[in-house]
Structure 1
Amino acid sequence: KIGSLKAWSFSTYKFTKQLLSEKLGQATRTVDSELEGQIESLKDTQLKYLNLLKLAKSLTTHFTQVIQTQKSLGDAFSQLSQKNPELHEEFTYNSETQKILCKNGETLLGALNFFISTLTTLCNKTIEDTLITIRHYESARIEYDAYRLDVESMQMVGTKDSVQSQRLADAQQRYEAHKEKFENLRSDVAIKMKFLDENRVNVMQRQLVLFHNAVASYFSGNQVALEETMKQFNIKLKTPNSTKPSWLENNK
């Protein structure tokens, strides 16, 4: 245990020293421009998707309030239709219109919540899993450079006795171990990012089609198209059984 603690302390010291030296411009670092560009792009994509998720949640919250208000409005129209015989017909069809809008609004909410759930999984699980591997890779890169610079420094000084030769041999051994770890993680990152990008595109294509079709169908008053969208994406939700083309047009 003491040996493990010493090794951990030494490794932590090397890591911290290398990181500070890089920030101060006192040490060189290994650069993979292409991979680092892809990593920065992924981090930026996650931030933008998280903002999209935030806005979608905000829209859903506001729309939920609209539906609740429509339900209350429909109930108010219904009560007034009973107490105002002279306006019974007018109050009644206004009540029915609000109730239908409310029911179909709940259908749209189902689509929005499905979109939010999928985007949440993509941002907080799928992308985050790759970013965790990237963080391990970035740490391994710092460790690798720390031991690389150790070896280079010792080689520049040279070995004058057996003690220095042994120190160089030990440093080279640690360097090779961290080089292997670094290269393996770099390969893992490249593979994960490739599959993540393919998965991200497939997921977002479906979700963007869902979002567009559901929102467009609802606000154009096309109940049939809205229900077909829910079926297309296998979203289970109770919806009105009407086959009329438009609940707005049929309540004018």
Structure 2
Amino acid sequence: MITLEDLRGDSPEICGSLNKIRDEIRAVAKNNDEEDAMLTKRILEDLIQFSRKKRSAPLDCDSEKGPEKKKMKRVRVIPPKNSLDFAPKNSDHSQEEGKSRKAVRQGKTPTEMKQTVEEQPPGMPMEFKDKIMGLHGWDVKLVIQKKLTGTDMEDSQDRLSIPRGQMRADFLTQEEEAELEEKEEDGIHFKGLKVALIEPSLEESAIFLKKWKLGNSSTYMLSSPWKNVVINNGLRKGNIIQLWSFRVDYNPCLALIKLHN
């Protein structure tokens, strides 16, 4: 609670001398009740103005004459090996609530509101979580969710494209990126990086992760033996799949999930 003593002591430059204000009001007030009412109104008006000026005034540290800002040292935090997060990075509960509130403001029906929330990709199925935890995996990230195209299914191509524009997270270190840049003996094709893969059937295998350059742009892809993964797991054109990354020790690994559609 703010008292008259607070006003007199903390903000005399705004409220003025309380006695002077009282004298001015007494000169025009008809009685004591009117004097109290006018005094209260004057004090509240000055207090509001004072509060507004404080909010709009720049901080001392941002002004030219203010104290010099302290330089903050960035600290890189490396997650512990047992830290797991199986939810997509952009599908937390608060964002879903935000989408629901936005849908309400736009006057959407309950069905339309549900569709708006479900635009976020589903989390990892429990059987895959258990599999990764059994391997002591960590740093789990959803790399991409996409629909399998005709090109992804062609035997002659034998690769799954991972377009950078559709990726939801970066998952390789700088050293691993550099390794993807190493060329074959022909000087044209990239060698690639052999990584462990959990297939949709939960079988463990290995696959080559490569970089494919198209003009000035580049994309990732899963290469040989991709067509074996397609056959063994009954993948078809139009299937919705998710590709997750995780690490065992500090080695990159992948998990391929076929969503029910």
User: Which bracket does the TM-score occupy, shorter chain normalised?
Assistant: under 0.3
Higher RCO (C-alpha under 8 Å, 6+ residues apart): 1
> Which has the larger share of strand?
2
**TM-score for the superposition, normalised by structure 1:** 0.23
**TM-score for the superposition, normalised by structure 2:** 0.22
